[in-house]
């Protein structure tokens, strides 16, 4: 059977445009962008072009883009950099209980440093209500950090309400949005929405691993986490990872229209949901209004890892939640209040522009076989 890859929220296949850009950067424009000779100048131009390509997706200025090694580094730079830069102006930080570990673990570290961190709890659909933000953000709040789209269930969080909450409270807070799962899928436009910091990643949009970016709105000041050369406005010192960065830029340039592509993915999501509805053992964990790229479900009484192994043996590839968790119990589904059995049997299907209805059919067939076989064991 041909491979069916439905784990695109974990990582994506690198598109041909990005592959070509990586090869060109490694073999032609291979210089150090800081070198003062023609090969270095060519690399500097390539770096500037990539910055412009990433900025374009966000309707941002190129100088508002700081390149990093990926989403985790961008989140760490945003959270620690914002909190430390505003420490004299307040002590309260507001986030949610369903953030990625690269936000939650830094938050725990900040708590140990004396910051007060408020974790907003979702409802059973993964939603955070605007009123929760209005109640939590006060004049002592220095940072609100919230993902745009949850990586496990696809719920869309109210980032505009976060901006409103900050303004209503007249708080000195910066607004950080982890947009790794939304980048290229929603029209984000952070500068127009009052978002100060936004995290994006290359390998979620068919670019290479090892590159990401932090949008930093013009006039926003955060403190660096590492020190050395003056690269990336002194926020991310060290010679830039040019092949990954140029591949990232090329992947951005190759992105289809976000709205049109989302409609196509929504059709796949609806098609798969209809097939899953015919399997009485399956329970949906993603709400109908979630971003259609992500569909989380629980498969009867079969442990997720057991079902993953069965699917993999038949060349079907999904995940049991966040790839970063490596099989650990989902803190997201726990926060949603699901039973241990429902959590332990949860699978995440995540789509990309290369997926088809035939992929959905193959998954449904093997899943049904797996339920029939494994629930007897």
- Find out whether 295 and 350 touch, Cβ atoms under 8 Å: yes
Question: How many angstroms separate the CA atoms of 230 and 52, rounded?
Answer: 20
122 three-class SS:
coil
- Phi, psi for residue 60 in degrees, rounded to 5: -115, 170
- Find out whether 377 and 329 touch, Cβ atoms under 8 Å: no
* Backbone region of residue 321 per phi and psi (left: phi > 0; alpha: psi in -120 to 50; beta: other values): left
**Any catalytic annotation for residue 324?**
yes
- Find out whether 224 and 234 touch, Cβ atoms under 8 Å: yes
- Phi, psi for residue 215 in degrees, rounded to 5: -75, 125
- Find out whether 65 and 89 touch, Cβ atoms under 8 Å: no
Structure tokens at 76: 């760490």
C-beta pairs of 220-227 under 8 Å, 24+ apart in sequence = 220/174, 220/196, 221/85, 222/77, 222/78, 222/81, 222/82, 222/84, 222/85, 222/174, 222/197, 223/80, 223/81, 223/84, 223/85, 224/77, 224/81, 225/76, 225/77, 225/80, 225/81
List CB contacts of 316: < 8 A, sequence separation 6 or more: 4, 6, 362, 363, 366, 367
> Of 15, 246, 252, 324, which residue is the catalytic one?
324
Return the active site residues.
324
């Amino acid at each position: 059977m041909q491979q069916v890859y439905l784990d695109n929220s974990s990582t994506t296949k690198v598109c041909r445009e990005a592959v070509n850009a990586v090869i060109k950067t490694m073999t032609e424009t291979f210089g150090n962008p800081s070198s003062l000779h023609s090969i270095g100048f060519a690399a500097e131009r390539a770096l500037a072009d990539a910055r412009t390509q990433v900025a374009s997706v966000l309707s941002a200025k190129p100088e508002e883009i700081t390149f990093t090694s990926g989403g985790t580094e961008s989140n760490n730079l945003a959270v620690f950099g914002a909190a430390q830069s505003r420490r004299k102006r307040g002590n309260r930080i507001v986030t949610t209980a369903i953030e990625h570990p690269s936000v939650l673990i830094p938050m725990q570290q900040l708590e140990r440093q004396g910051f007060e961190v408020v974790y907003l709890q979702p409802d059973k659909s993964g939603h955070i209500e605007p009123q929760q933000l209005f109640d939590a953000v006060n004049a002592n709040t220095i940072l609100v950090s919230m993902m745009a789209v949850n990586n496990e269930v696809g719920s869309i969080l109210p980032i505009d309400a976060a901006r409103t909450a900050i303004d209503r409270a007249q708080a000195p807070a910066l607004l950080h949005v982890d947009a790794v799962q939304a980048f290229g899928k929603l029209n984000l436009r952070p500068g127009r929405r009052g978002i100060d910091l936004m995290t994006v990643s290359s390998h979620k949009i068919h670019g290479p691993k090892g590159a990401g970016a932090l949008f930093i709105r013009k006039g926003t000041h955060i403190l660096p986490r590492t020190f050395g050369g003056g690269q990336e406005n002194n926020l991310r010192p060290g010679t830039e990872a040019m092949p990954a960065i140029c591949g990232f830029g090329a992947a951005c340039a190759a992105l289809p229209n976000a709205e049109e592509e989302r409609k196509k993915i929504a059709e796949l999501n609806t098609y798969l949901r209809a097939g899953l509805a015919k399997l009485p053992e399956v329970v949906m964990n993603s709400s109908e209004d979630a971003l259609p790229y992500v569909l989380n479900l629980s498969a009867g009484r079969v442990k997720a890892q057991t079902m993953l192994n069965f699917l993999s043996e038949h060349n079907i590839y999904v995940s049991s939640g966040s790839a970063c968790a490596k099989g650990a119990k989902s803190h997201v589904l726990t926060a949603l209040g699901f039973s241990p059995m429902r959590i332990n049997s949860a699978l995440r299907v995540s789509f990309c522009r290369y997926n088809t209805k035939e992929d959905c059919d193959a998954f449904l067939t093997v899943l049904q076989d797996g339920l029939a076989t494994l629930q007897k064991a």
